[in-house]
Amino acid sequence: MKSKFSNVVWGIIFIALGAFYAGNIFNLWSFNLFFNGWWTLFIIIPCLIGIIENGLSTGNIVGLIIGILLLLSSQDIINTRMITRLIFPVILILIGIKIVFRDNFCKNSSKYINRNVNVDKCLEYTSIFTNQKEIYPNLAFDGANVMAIFGKIELNLLNAIISEDIVINSTSICGKIDIMVPRNVNVKISSTPIFGGATNKARSCINTNSPTIYINATCIFGGLDSI
């Protein structure tokens, strides 16, 4: 359902663009896609789709805010200096949203498989303009939200204990995410790539009864690899 909805939205967008340009040729109207900051739509639209499909998530909210701020800056509504000054209040707002809607950030992860997610054990990994290497210990792993913005995250789950199906929500905006998975699990990726992509390089598990890691990946000028 997630992939179908995304395909419908993007299909409608391209049909509309084609119709607008055809109207230009027949002098029905004047349409110019390449307004100041047009490229920010490739950040804003996927994040909006992600929120509609999956509910609130840290990656989609941060991406949406960044996209809107960049669009406003391109339109000279706010300047770059103001964006820098807005970083701290935006962080405070995001912390507040995450506290208020804490249950939604993790419970929405169970949308694509029939299981409940333990909110208290839902992990968050975020890299903004940094490189991170996270090695999960030999403990039960119940899923996570992973986000890389102009940075890289390497999440090592080789020693993690995964006894049932889990979900990992990932967002990479001009960044890279590598997830190293155990050999005794299956991996399935559902991705929304915008000038980026997600690749499943993990070795397939022979036992069909093994647990599955479901990875929901949003890649905007970035990528995700499961290894």
Q: Is 84 helix (H, G, I), strand (E, B) or coil?
A: helix
pLDDT at 57: 67
Looking at the structure, tell me whether residues 44 and 81 fall in a common domain: yes
Please identify, among 50, 84, 102, the residue that sits at the C-terminal boundary of a domain. Answer: 102
Number of domains in the chain: 2
Task: Indicate the helix (H) or strand (E) that contains 68.
Answer: helix 58-74
Write the pLDDT tens digit of every residue in 64-83. 888 888 888 888 888 877 77
**Which residues, in sequence order, are CB contacts of 13 under 8 Å at separation 6+?**
45
Looking at the structure, tell me whether residues 79 and 138 fall in a common domain: no
Write the pLDDT tens digit of every residue in 21-44. 788 788 777 777 777 888 888 788
Looking at the structure, tell me whether residues 98 and 148 fall in a common domain: no
Write out the residue range of the structural domain in which residue 58 sits: 2-102
pTM of the model: 0.56
Write the pLDDT tens digit of every residue in 171-191. 888 899 999 999 889 999 988
User: CB burial class (10 A; 0-12, 13-18, 19+) of residue 148?
Assistant: buried
Token pair of 93 as six digits = 């707002």
What is d(CA 156, CA 105) in angstroms, rounded to the nearest whole number? 22
Please identify, among 102, 120, 154, the residue that sits at the C-terminal boundary of a domain. Answer: 102
21 forms beta bridges with none
Looking at the structure, tell me whether residues 67 and 116 fall in a common domain: no
Looking at the structure, tell me whether residues 89 and 155 fall in a common domain: no
Q: What is the mean pLDDT of residues 162-168?
A: 91
